[in-house]
Amino acid sequence: MGTGTPATETTMTSTRPTTRNTWQRAAVRDLLENSAEFRTAQQIHDLLKEHGAKIGLATVYRALQAMSEAGEVDVLRTVDGEATYRHCSSGHHHHLVCRSCGYSVEIAARPVEEWANEVAAANGFTDVGHEVEMFGLCAECSKR
């Protein structure tokens, strides 16, 4: 996987990622950083509006896209294909998600990582990645 490098060089002044700081993106980021649940773009949009933010839906989508490309958020698909986003710690990890309330826990899976690589190699595959997600009922939701 290559790293996207914007090549907008004019002279030799600034080589910044040319990404601007708008309150809209900050709002999306803040909301995600204060939630332990996976949410859809539309849910996020609704929540922001409830908080009085006058932000467009397209902007939310763009912010989420940018953040996911930057590795700031993880994306999961619901059974019917909807994308859900959650702020996540950097680095490789997986999730244990409550299928009732959306609460999720990040989990490391050292043994699985190795197993995955072995299986891949044994089948002649290269450049292999994997997706491991677990769904269940959290302790809270189990008490019902």
Q: Looking only at residues 53 through 112 of this chain, which bind its own copies when binding is defined by CB under 8 A?
A: 77, 81-83, 96, 98, 105, 107, 109, 111-112
**CA distances for 124 relative to 21, 110, 129, angstroms:** 45, 22, 14
| Spatial distance between the Cα atoms of 95 and 74, rounded to a whole number of angstroms | 10
3-state SS track over 78-116: CCCCCEEEEECCCCCCEEEEECCCCEEEEECCHHHHHHH
Stretch that binds DNA, among 56-64, 97-105, 112-120, 121-129 (CB under 7 A): 56-64
Stretch that binds DNA, among 58-66, 93-101, 118-126, 132-140 (CB under 7 A): 58-66
First and final C-alpha spacing in the chain? 45
**Closer to DNA by Cβ: residue 25 or 94:** 25
129 binding its own copies? (CB under 8 A): yes
**Closer to Zn ion by Cβ: residue 82 or 133:** 133
Contact, 4 vs 56, CB < 8 A? no
Q: What angle do CA 136, 69, 63 make, to 5 degrees?
A: 90
Residue type for position 30: D
Least Å from the CB of residue 134 to its own copies? 4
Query: What is the contact surface with its own copies in residues (CB under 8 A)?
Result: 77, 81-83, 96, 98, 105, 107, 109, 111-112, 115-116, 119-120, 123-139, 142
Query: What is the contact surface with DNA in residues (CB under 7 A)?
Result: 8, 13-14, 16, 18-25, 40-42, 54-59, 61-63, 65-66, 80-83
Query: What is the contact surface with Zn ion in residues (CB under 5 A)?
Result: 98, 100-101, 103, 113, 138, 141
